[in-house]
Structure 1
Amino acid sequence: MRSRSPADDDGSVAAEFAVALPAVALVLALCVGAVGVGSQQLRLQDAAADAARGLGRGESTSAVQGRVSRAAPGSVLADWSSGELVCARLTVPARGPAAVAGLRLAAESCALDGGR
């Protein structure tokens, strides 16, 4: 039986690296995409809270929609009243790699209805 020498393993590290590199790149891309979606969701939630407060102060829906469009471009505003509260719901398609999957983000917030 022939004994193995260190020279028998030449190239195995390069082959393992070539196999692992695409998987590492994919995981890294997914992580970056998730951070982007999280950031977009946070901005959308802030815009929904601002919209609810504006509607609660008695601002017109068109004025609130204009402000929301600057904060969260492409978002759609829906508003309704529930007792002493006025609520706003924003929806928007996700940007970046999540857009390929058809992901839609939504955020809603309510404020006291003091202006209606």
Structure 2
Amino acid sequence: MIRRCDDGGSATAEFAVIVPAVVLLIALTAGSLSAVGRLVRLEHAVAQAARLAARGETGRVAELVAAIADARVEAIAAEGDLVCVTASAVPGVPLPLPELSARSCALEGGR
């Protein structure tokens, strides 16, 4: 009598292991891309805020950064002929990522 090996359930078991791994990979990729997009918005906001602060409109800097990147201004500092703005924001995704931070400078009095 010849015994046959039945591999019918092995494909189902392999599929059950692979699907969660693929879903996790897709979720991590989407979360990372979201965090990078938020960092780009933060850098754009800080650059705009530095130009605004260099023109002497420091009162509107925090409002601008919050509107563009949903972030907070950490510092506005004069460094020689430059006015520098530093801001930070939380990544906004449920991943163990550090706080996002950006800094930009503009020539004081520049138009």
TM-score, normalised by the number of residues in structure 1: 0.85
Which secondary structure state, in structure 1, belongs to the residue aligned with residue 106 of structure 2? Answer: strand
How far apart, in 1, do the equivalents of 2:68 and 2:9 lie? 53
**Which amino acid in the other structure matches residue 13 of structure 2?**
A
Identity across the alignment (%) = 43
Q: How does 1:1-116 map to 2 (within 5 A)?
A: 2=2, 4=4, 8-59=6-57, 61-98=58-95, 101=96, 103-114=98-109
How far apart, in 2, do the equivalents of 1:114 and 1:76 lie? 20
RMSD between aligned alpha carbons?
A: 1.8
User: Contact between 1:79 and 1:86, CA under 8 Å: does it hold in 2?
Assistant: yes
- In structure 2, the CA distance between the partners of 1:83 and 1:10, relative to structure 1 (3 Å rule), is same
- In structure 2, the CA distance between the partners of 1:66 and 1:104, relative to structure 1 (3 Å rule), is same
TM-score, normalised by the number of residues in structure 2: 0.89
Structure 2: 5+ residue stretches without partners: none
How far apart, in 2, do the equivalents of 1:96 and 1:33 lie? 6
Q: Deviations over 1:60-100 (max 9, x none)?
A: x22111111111224234111111111011111110223xx
Q: What is the total number of aligned residue pairs between the two structures?
A: 110
Structure 1: 5+ residue stretches without partners: none
How far apart, in 1, do the equivalents of 2:46 and 2:68 lie? 10
